[in-house]
Amino acid sequence: MLSKKTIFFGGVLPQLVAVLLTSFPANGFVPLPSPHLNHNIRRSTKENEINTENRQSLSDLFEDFASFLQEKQTQIISEIEDIDGSGETFCNDPWGMFADDANPSMKSGGITRVIQKGNVVEKGACSFTLLKGGKLTAERAASIQGRQKNENLPPIKEGDEYSAVALSMVLHTKSPMVPTFRSDVRLFMVEPSDKSGVLAWFGGGSDLTPYYLFDEDIEFFHERLKNLCDQHSEENEMIDYPSMKQACDEYFYLPARSEHRGTGGMFFDDMSATPSTMKFVKAVTENWMPSWFPIIEKRQMVEYTDQQREWQLLRRGRYLEFNLLYDRGVKFGLANANPRVEGVMVSAPPLIAWEYNHEIQNGSEEDRLMKILKKPVDWV
């Protein structure tokens, strides 16, 4: 059961909602399969009526996943504070139904939690967001409907009710020898107003943005993702590492720069929500810190120069460029009336740099990274 007293964080609600409600950009992205009608829903003999037992089953799956994310978020905060070792802790900023003065009738909310000026994490945020009883606007309904390819699925219309729950994380590292880590998982459900079916699907992934390449670290990260997908590949045809790796490379792309943001990882969306796919998505979440902490342990104490720190800040500039110019969630959040700007921008790096016409020395480590960002490689 979700508890207001449980420590968890949310802060990029607009990003998460936008990812859930909108399709991904056509520029450089190959769409994954569109949302599926949950196959566990059995039709009754009465036309357009949903079997209430199965609707309840899907609701139970939602609550199960939401509780898991709360517990996982609490665990992750503790682990990050331990490995950071600076004594800095995550702040706690509840809003909506989780605020101390919240109206008991509220169904949605979250808590922003951010750590800053740590030894490992210069700035990090992780967000838990819970939405219930939302109503789709005409624009959002049209966006979801446009992603459906199966004519047998119920139509999505303005006013249909939706629920969503998500956990996301961005951890910007102090050392340029340790890559920035980003991850999220989410569950989204829509019940058409004509009661003709229930749509429910998962999305998520994780990726790295390094500043200096240690090939064995990137290979280790991708190998864990591949092994994870291989272990669960029989649960859903979408659980395929090469496809998810390609989707990640193509989404985190800056077309104006003709370069990718980082060395990628995995990215998936529109995965039919069932107990078996939830098992996979939970495993994705469990893999986050074990895929990143060993890299910290190997690289955190590697010495670096002022020039290498400056290169990190320049690359962070690209990170912010992507967020502001191309990330659908940030654009959506800032376009809303009265946006929670601090929440929308919580994923931004703490310090960045832009230098006019910055030149890279041929054959340097910076040059080697840029060649990979221009043309991604298969790490496993």
Q: Give the tokens for residue 263.
A: 């060395």
Q: What confidence score (pLDDT) does residue 336 get?
A: 67
Q: Provide the β-strand partners of residue 135.
A: 161
pLDDT of residue 151: 67
Q: What is the pLDDT of residue 288?
A: 98
| pLDDT at res. 23 | 33
- d(C-alpha 112, C-alpha 198), whole Å: 30
Residue 124 near residue 170 (C-beta atoms within 8 A)? yes
User: From CA 191, how far away is CA 56, in angstroms rounded?
Assistant: 12
Give the pLDDT confidence score for residue 7 in this predicted structure.
28
Task: Please report the pLDDT score of residue 335 as a whole number.
Answer: 73
| pLDDT tens-place string over residues 91-146 | 998 889 989 898 888 888 888 899 999 999 999 999 899 999 888 888 878 877 77
pLDDT at 375: 97
CA 369 to chain centre: 24
Please, are residues 24 and 137 in contact by the beta-carbon 8 Å criterion?
A: no
The answer to whether 48 and 192 are in contact (CB under 8 A) is no
Q: How far apart (Å, rounded) are the C-alpha atoms in residues 316 and 353?
A: 7
Q: Report DSSP letters for 255-319, one per residue.
A: TTTTEESSSEEEEEEEEE--HHHHHHHHHHHHHHHHHHHHHHHHHTT----HHHHHHHHHHHHHH
Cβ-contact 162, 108 below 8 angstroms: no
Domains of the chain listed by start with CATH number: 13-214+267-365 (3.40.1500.10)
Per-residue pLDDT, 161? 87
| Residues 289-342 pLDDT 10s | 999 999 999 999 999 999 999 999 999 999 999 999 998 778 777 776 677 788
pTM assigned to the model:
0.85
247 — phi, psi (to 5°)?
-60, -40
Q: Which residues of the chain have pLDDT under 70?
A: 1-55, 147-152, 196, 336-337
pLDDT at 164: 93
Residue 69's H or E segment, with its range, is helix 52-84
pLDDT reported for residue 314: 98
